[in-house]
Amino acid sequence: MPSSSAPLTIDDINPKVINFEYAIRGEIVLRAQCIQQDLLTKPSSYPFDEIIYCNIGDPHSLGQKPITFFREVLALCDHPALLDKSETHSLFSSDAIARARHIVNNIPGGTGAYSHSQGIRACREEIAAGIEARDGYSANANDLYLLDGATPGVHMIMQLLLGSEKDGILCPIPQYPLYSASIAVHGGTMVPYYLDEANGWALEVTELRRQLKLARAEGIKVRALVVINPGNPTGQVLSEENQKDIIRFCKDEHLLLLADEVYQENVFAENKKFFSFKKVSRSMGYGEKDLSLVSFHSISKGYCGECGKRGGYMEVTGLDNDAKEQLYKIASVNLCSNISGQILMSLVMNPPKSGEESYKSFQQERDSILASLGRRAKRFAEALNKLEGVSCNEAEGALHLFPRLHLPERALKAASAIDMPADTFYVRKLLDATGIVMVPGSGFGQAPGTWHIRSTVLPPEKKLPDIISRLSTFHQRFMDEFRK
Amino acid sequence: MPSSSAPLTIDDINPKVINFEYAIRGEIVLRAQCIQQDLLTKPSSYPFDEIIYCNIGDPHSLGQKPITFFREVLALCDHPALLDKSETHSLFSSDAIARARHIVNNIPGGTGAYSHSQGIRACREEIAAGIEARDGYSANANDLYLLDGATPGVHMIMQLLLGSEKDGILCPIPQYPLYSASIAVHGGTMVPYYLDEANGWALEVTELRRQLKLARAEGIKVRALVVINPGNPTGQVLSEENQKDIIRFCKDEHLLLLADEVYQENVFAENKKFFSFKKVSRSMGYGEKDLSLVSFHSISKGYCGECGKRGGYMEVTGLDNDAKEQLYKIASVNLCSNISGQILMSLVMNPPKSGEESYKSFQQERDSILASLGRRAKRFAEALNKLEGVSCNEAEGALHLFPRLHLPERALKAASAIDMPADTFYVRKLLDATGIVMVPGSGFGQAPGTWHIRSTVLPPEKKLPDIISRLSTFHQRFMDEFRK
C-alpha cells in the first residue's frame, strides 16, 4: 500500500521520463534565468550586465524583427472586422488586406474554429504549391499535416512507430535532443550513428550500415532513419550525391526516412545548396511505392524566426493507406494545430510575389536577415577557430556552431572530481564569467572522449565583437588556469 | 529481413496506436465530410442541403462570434506597430490598446519569440490572479503551465505517470475519449468507473473504491483519478459534498486528482454552481502536502469558444520538487505553447473590468452567448425526451447531451448482422437521412447493453427547430422500421 498522505513524488514518475535529458532548456539555462533575475536587483554582483542566450535558436528574442507582411496578415485574420473599415487601408498594405480576405474567406468558421486535423485545406494547398515550386515535383495537400512547430510532428511519428524498446530509430550523433527525448518517452531505442567531424560532419552510409547491422544483431527492429539537413547542431549541408546514397539505403533497408529540413532556408556556404529529400528521391525516379519519407518544416527558423507562433508542417509520403489512417487518428486526438501558425506557415511557403505592394519590402527584410545570419556565422566560426585548443567546422547552414574543445588534462580532472562532464564544467564557468549561455556538447551526444559546445549564431551583429571578446578573454583565462 | 521495397504499412505501426479509438473525429465525421464535398457538386443527391456538425464542441464553426475585445487585443499584439499609429484609435477600443501595450511590454522578445516553457510569466500571473478571484484561495504563477489547448496537458501528465501497462488511471465511463486514447498510446491501463445514469450521472465514491480494489487485485498501480466537471459527454455538475468525498478518496488512496474543468463557465442548471476542486480542497484545509491536483482549463469552451487559437492551462499543485522537475522537463522538450493562445487564456481569466471602455460590450457578448447556450441545452434535451424510447438527463452544464436510446430488438439485430455497434448504426442512418452528425455512445464508453448518442448543443437557435424536426421525423421512421 502506498503511504496515504504524501503528495506525488519522484517514485510515482514514469522512469522513461526520468531517464531522458533536454539540455537546450536544461540546468545551465535555469541557472542563467536565475542570474538574469538577480541582475535586476543586484546589477553589480556579476562581472557582466546582461545574459546573452546562445543556447536556443530563438531569433526574435535576440532582436530579429518579424516580416511586416506576415504580421499584417495575421492581425487582419485575427480581427477580420478590420477588413471592412476604410481606415484599415491607411494602416495595412493592400496585398496584406487582399491576402487576409482570401484566407478568411477560405476558413468558414474563422480563426476561432478547429480546422481539419491535418490543417486548413486552403493553407495546405498553398503549402503544397510552395513545395512544388521549390522542388519541381508535385506535392499533395492530403500529404500535409500542419503542426504547432515541427516538434509535435516528431512526437507523432515516434508514437506511430515505437511499440516497445525493440523498435529502434537511427539518429545522428551529435543530434538535436528532441529526437533522443521523444524516442525515450515513447519507449523506443535510439540507434546512434556518428557524423564524421574530421570530414566536415559528413554523413557516411558505411557508418549507417555498420550501426544498423549492430542494432539488428541485438534484436532491434530499426524503423526509421533521422537525418537533419542542414545539420543541427553541426551546420553541415549534405551534397546531392550523399542524399542519393542515403535514399537508396532507406529503400534497401525498408526504413522510413525522417528528414528534418527546418533549416532549409539557412544555407550560407556559397558552394552549397539545399535539396529536399523529396526532390532528390523523385529525381532518382523513386515514387510513393519506393520510399517512405517524412519531411519536417517550421516557421521558427529560416528568415521568419517566428518561434512563438508555433507553426510547422510535415509532408508524409510513401505510407500505405492503413498506416496513413493510423497517423490521421493520432492527429485527430490533438484536434488541430493553432490557426495563426497554420496561416503563417502558408505565408512562408507562398510569400509576396513580384508586382504586389509588399514584394520589395518583403525581399529586403528577408535578404537582410539571411545575409546578416551568414556574416554572423562566418565571423563567429573564425573567432572560435582562433581560440587555443578549439576547432570549429565551417557553418555551411542552420543557425548553430558546434566547436570541439581540446581541454587541458587538469580541466578534465577538475570536472571529473565534481562528477560533471567537462563540457558542462566549461559552459558553466563561461556563464558565470561572461553571462554567455551555451549548451554543453554532451546534451547532443558526441564521440566518446571528445568535448564540444553548441552556440547559436543569433546575437545581433553590433554585439558580436563584444561577445567574441568576452568569450576569448574567458577562454584564455580558463586555459591558463588549467594548463598545468 | 523485411521486404526491401514496400512503403510503410500497418505492420510497421505501434500496436498501441492501432488499438485506440477517437470517435469524435472518427469514421462518421469522415463520412460527413465526404457528403459535404458531394453536396457542393450534387446538391440534389441528398435529402438535406447542409451538414450540421453536432459531433464536436466547436462553437465558432456553428456561427458563434468571437468576443470583440479579445480579438482586438490579439490583433494588436500580433502587429504591435499599430500601437504607435493614430489611426489605430479609430479602429480599436482604448482598453484593448492599453491591454495590448501592457502585454507587449511584458514580452521582451515579442510574440515571435519562444516563451518560458511554462508560458509567459506576465500571462501566468494574470491567470493566477484570475484563479484567486474565482476561488478565494491563493494561486501561484509557478504552478501554471500554459498549453496549446488542454489536450497537450493531458498527454504530458499521462507521459509523466505511465511507465508500463501496470500503471493505471481511473477514468469515468462515459468519458471524453482523449483520456482513453492518451492512456493507450502512453502504454498505461485505463481503470473504468461507471457514472450512475439513473441518478443524473452521479459519481459515487463507492464505485471508485470498488474499481480501485479490483484494479489493485490485478496488480495495477493506480496513479490518478480523472474527473470531468462539468461532465463530458454527460453534462452533470458535481455537488460540493460529492467533491469533498472525491478529494478525501484521492488523499486516502494516494491518487493524483486530474480535474478536467474546461466547462467551468458552462453551468446552466439554476440550482447548480461550479466549484473548482482546488477551492473545495483548500476549504477542507487540505494544502500542498495533502492532495496532488491538476486542474485543466481551456479557451475553447465557456463563452469564449476559441478552439482554433489553441490555448489552455493546467494548474499543478501538490507535487514534490523532484516530480515537478520531471514535468518541467517534458514541457521544455516542447519549447512552449503558442503565444496568442497564452495571451487569450490570460484575457479569459482577466477580462475587461467595470469602468473600462469594453466592459459593457464584453458583458453583453458573454452573457448573450451563455444564455443562448443554456436555452439550447434545455430545448434540445426536452425534444430528445419526447422521442419514443429516448431518455436524456438534464444538461446541468458543459456543451453536450448524452441521451440513452432504447432501440427495438430488430434494430439491434440489424446492426449486429453487419458487425456494427447499434449506436453507430443509428448515428449513421441519422447522418444519411438528415445531415446531422452525432457521435455514437460507444466512442465514450457506456454500461454494457446500453446505447447512447452524444450531441453538442451548439447549433444556432434559429436552426434548432428545423434540426429537432428532422431528428424527430428520422427517429420515428427508424423506430417504425425496426419495431417488429
A332/A385 same-domain check: no
Residue A467 has pLDDT above 70, yes or no: yes
CB within 8 Å: A58 and B113: yes
- Mean pLDDT for A202-219 is 97
Measured between CB atoms, which of A71, A112, A326 is closest to B13?
Answer: A326
CA-CA distance, B179 to B444, in Å (whole number)?
Answer: 10
Domain range spanning residue A234? 110-349
CA-based max dimension of chain A: 74
Interface of A with B in 239-268 (CB under 8 A): 251-254, 256
Q: Which residues of B touch A18 (CB under 8 A)?
A: 326
Q: Is A17 helix (H, G, I), strand (E, B) or coil?
A: helix
* Sign, CA torsion A2/A3/A9/A10: negative
CA-CA distance, B295 to B293, in Å (whole number)?
Answer: 6
Does residue A105 sit within a domain? no
Grid cell at residue A229: 539537413
Specify the amino acid at residue B54: C
Specify the amino acid at residue A442: S
pLDDT at B4: 44
> In this predicted model, what pLDDT tens digit does every residue of B303-346 receive, in sequence order?
999 999 999 999 999 999 899 999 999 999 889 999 999 999 99
DSSP A320-383: -HHHHHHHHHHHHHT----HHHHHHHHHHHS---TTSTTHHHHHHHHHHHHHHHHHHHHHHHHH
A149/A297 same-domain check: yes
Residue B25 has pLDDT above 80, yes or no: no
Q: Distance of alpha carbon A482 from its chain centroid, rounded? A: 35
DSSP B235-282: -----HHHHHHHHHHHHHHT-EEEEE-TTTT-B--TT-----HHHHHH
Grid cell at residue B12: 510497421
Q: Is B462 exposed, middle or buried (0-12, 13-18, 19+ CB in 10 A)?
A: exposed
CA-CA distance, B285 to A77, in Å (whole number)?
Answer: 47
CA-CA distance, A20 to A183, in Å (whole number)?
Answer: 9
> In this predicted model, what pLDDT tens digit does every residue of A311-350 receive, in sequence order?
999 999 999 989 999 999 999 988 999 999 999 999 999 9
% of chain B exceeding 70 in pLDDT: 99
pLDDT at B23: 74
**CA-based nearest residue to B31, from B2, B6, B51, B45:** B51
B189 touches chain A (CB under 8 A): no
A369/A462 same-domain check: yes
CB within 8 Å: B91 and A90: no
Residue A5 has pLDDT above 80, yes or no: no
Q: Are strands A189-194 and A167-173 parallel, antiparallel or unpaired?
A: parallel
Does residue B83 sit within a domain? no
Q: Which residues of A touch B18 (CB under 8 A)?
A: 326
Q: Distance of alpha carbon B220 from its chain centroid, rounded? A: 27
- Domain final residue pick, A349, A375, A393: A349
Q: Which of A73, A78, A180 to mutate to test the interface with B (most CBs of B within 10 A)?
A: A78
A49/A145 same-domain check: no
pLDDT at B1: 39
Residue B5 has pLDDT above 70, yes or no: no
CA-CA distance, B61 to A112, in Å (whole number)?
Answer: 8
Lowest mean pLDDT across A5-14, A353-362, A456-465, B62-71: A5-14
Interface of B with A in 87-106 (CB under 8 A): 87-88, 90-91
A74 touches chain B (CB under 8 A): yes
pLDDT at A6: 55
What rounded mean pLDDT belongs to chain B?
A: 94
- Mean pLDDT for B371-395 is 94
B338 touches chain A (CB under 8 A): yes
A27 touches chain B (CB under 8 A): no
Measured between CB atoms, which of B66, B76, B110 is closest to A60?
Answer: B110
B192 touches chain A (CB under 8 A): no
How many CA atoms lie within 13 Å of B166's alpha carbon, on the beta-carbon side? 8
| Chain B nearest CA to A481, separation (Å) | 34
B428/B299 same-domain check: no
A114/A168 same-domain check: yes
Does residue A166 sit within a domain? yes
Measured between CB atoms, which of B10, B82, B310 is closest to A323?
Answer: B10
Grid cell at residue A31: 541557472
B178 touches chain A (CB under 8 A): yes
ipTM of the complex: 0.94
> In this predicted model, what pLDDT tens digit does every residue of B412-426 receive, in sequence order?
999 999 999 999 999
CA-CA distance, A231 to A228, in Å (whole number)?
Answer: 5
CA angle, corner B117, sides to B116 and B121, nearest 5? 40
DSSP tag of B67:
P
The domain tally of chain A equals 2
B375/B442 same-domain check: yes
A469/A331 same-domain check: no
CATH number of the domain enclosing A214: 3.40.640.10
> In this predicted model, what pLDDT tens digit does every residue of B247-294 receive, in sequence order?
999 999 999 999 999 999 999 999 999 999 999 999 999 999 999 999
Nearest residue on chain B to A299, alpha-carbon basis: B112
Measured between CB atoms, which of B7, B162, B341 is closest to A289?
Answer: B7
Which residues share a beta bridge with B294? B258, B316
CB within 8 Å: A182 and B82: no
CB atoms within 10 A of CB A125: 17
CA-CA distance, B465 to A293, in Å (whole number)?
Answer: 50
Helices A321-333 and A151-161: crossing angle, nearest 10°? 130
Does residue B323 sit within a domain? yes
Residue A30 has pLDDT above 90, yes or no: no
CB atoms within 10 A of CB B321: 8
Q: Is A269 helix (H, G, I), strand (E, B) or coil?
A: coil
Q: Which of B286, B338, B343, B458 to mutate to test the interface with A (most CBs of A within 10 A)?
A: B338
Residue B7 has pLDDT above 80, yes or no: no
Length of chain B counted residue by residue: 484
- Domain final residue pick, B349, B374, B407: B349
pLDDT band at B144 (very low <50, low <70, confident <90, very high): very high
Measured between CB atoms, which of A16, A61, A72 is closest to B163?
Answer: A16
Q: Which residues of B touch A336 (CB under 8 A)?
A: 307-308, 310
Does residue B203 sit within a domain? yes
| Chain B nearest CA to A96, separation (Å) | 12
CB within 8 Å: A112 and B305: yes
A306/A452 same-domain check: no
Does residue B1 sit within a domain? no
Between chain A and chain B, the number of residue pairs with CB atoms below 8 A apart is 302
**CA-based nearest residue to A180, from A399, A396, A446, A397:** A446
Q: Distance of alpha carbon B351 from its chain centroid, rounded? A: 21
A294/A373 same-domain check: no
Q: What are phi and psi of A207, to 5 degrees?
A: -65, -40
Interface of A with B in 350-379 (CB under 8 A): none
Q: Are strands B167-173 and B390-391 parallel, antiparallel or unpaired?
A: unpaired
Specify the amino acid at residue A317: T
B325/B373 same-domain check: no
**Residues B76, B83 contacting (CB under 8 angstroms):** yes
**Residues B453, B440 contacting (CB under 8 angstroms):** yes
Specify the amino acid at residue B320: D
- Domain final residue pick, A322, A349, A376: A349
A319 touches chain B (CB under 8 A): yes
Grid cell at residue A151: 516538434
Measured between CB atoms, which of A15, A18, A326 is closest to B17?
Answer: A326
A290 touches chain B (CB under 8 A): yes
pLDDT at A223: 96
Q: Which residues of B touch A58 (CB under 8 A)?
A: 109, 113-114
Strands (E), A83-238: 144-147, 167-173, 189-194, 221-228
What rounded mean pLDDT belongs to chain A?
A: 94
CB within 8 Å: B335 and A307: yes
Interface of A with B in 454-483 (CB under 8 A): none
Q: Which residues of A touch B87 (CB under 8 A)?
A: 87, 90-91
pLDDT band at B30 (very low <50, low <70, confident <90, very high): confident
CA-CA distance, A354 to B177, in Å (whole number)?
Answer: 48
- Give the helix/strand (H/E) hosting B390: strand B390-391
pLDDT at B18: 85
**Residues B398, B235 contacting (CB under 8 angstroms):** yes
DSSP B84-111: G-TTHHHHS-HHHHHHHHHHHHT-TT-T
% of chain A exceeding 70 in pLDDT: 99
CA-CA distance, B84 to A304, in Å (whole number)?
Answer: 23
Q: Is B387 helix (H, G, I), strand (E, B) or coil?
A: coil
CB within 8 Å: A160 and B14: yes
CA-based max dimension of chain B: 74
pLDDT band at A4 (very low <50, low <70, confident <90, very high): very low
Q: Is B440 helix (H, G, I), strand (E, B) or coil?
A: strand
Judged by phi (left if over 0) then psi (alpha if -120 to 50, else beta), residue A325 lies in: alpha
pLDDT at A259: 98
| Chain B nearest CA to A66, separation (Å) | 7
pLDDT at B43: 86
H-type alpha helices, A190-290: 205-217, 240-253, 277-283
B84 touches chain A (CB under 8 A): no
% of chain B exceeding 90 in pLDDT: 89
Q: Which residues of B touch A79 (CB under 8 A)?
A: 71-72, 74-75
Does residue A312 sit within a domain? yes
A266/A390 same-domain check: no
CA-CA distance, B470 to B464, in Å (whole number)?
Answer: 10
| Chain A nearest CA to B319, separation (Å) | 5
CA-CA distance, A37 to B93, in Å (whole number)?
Answer: 34
Cβ-proximal residues to B177 (8 Å cutoff; 6+ apart), any chain: A333, B21, B22, B23, B24, B443, B444
Interface of B with A in 120-159 (CB under 8 A): 148-149, 151-152, 159
- Give the helix/strand (H/E) hosting B453: strand B451-456
> In this predicted model, what pLDDT tens digit does every residue of A266-314 receive, in sequence order?
999 999 999 999 999 999 999 999 999 999 999 999 999 999 999 999 9
Does residue B92 sit within a domain? no
> In this predicted model, what pLDDT tens digit does every residue of B92-139 receive, in sequence order?
999 999 999 999 999 988 999 999 999 999 999 999 999 999 999 999
**Residues B257, B250 contacting (CB under 8 angstroms):** yes
CA-CA distance, B258 to B358, in Å (whole number)?
Answer: 35
H-type alpha helices, A170-274: 178-185, 205-217, 240-253
Q: Which residues of A touch B177 (CB under 8 A)?
A: 333
Cβ-proximal residues to A170 (8 Å cutoff; 6+ apart), any chain: A191, A192, A193, A208, A211, A212, A215, A222, A224, A225, A226, A255
Cβ-proximal residues to B58 (8 Å cutoff; 6+ apart), any chain: A109, A113, A114, B300, B305, B307, B456, B458
A76 touches chain B (CB under 8 A): yes
A291 touches chain B (CB under 8 A): yes
pLDDT band at B6 (very low <50, low <70, confident <90, very high): low
* Cα Rg of chain B, angstroms: 23
CATH number of the domain enclosing A45: 3.90.1150.10
> In this predicted model, what pLDDT tens digit does every residue of A49-75 receive, in sequence order?
999 999 989 999 999 999 999 999 999
pLDDT band at B3 (very low <50, low <70, confident <90, very high): very low
How far is the CA of B418 from the CAs of A325, B18, B414, B424, in angstroms?
22, 22, 7, 11
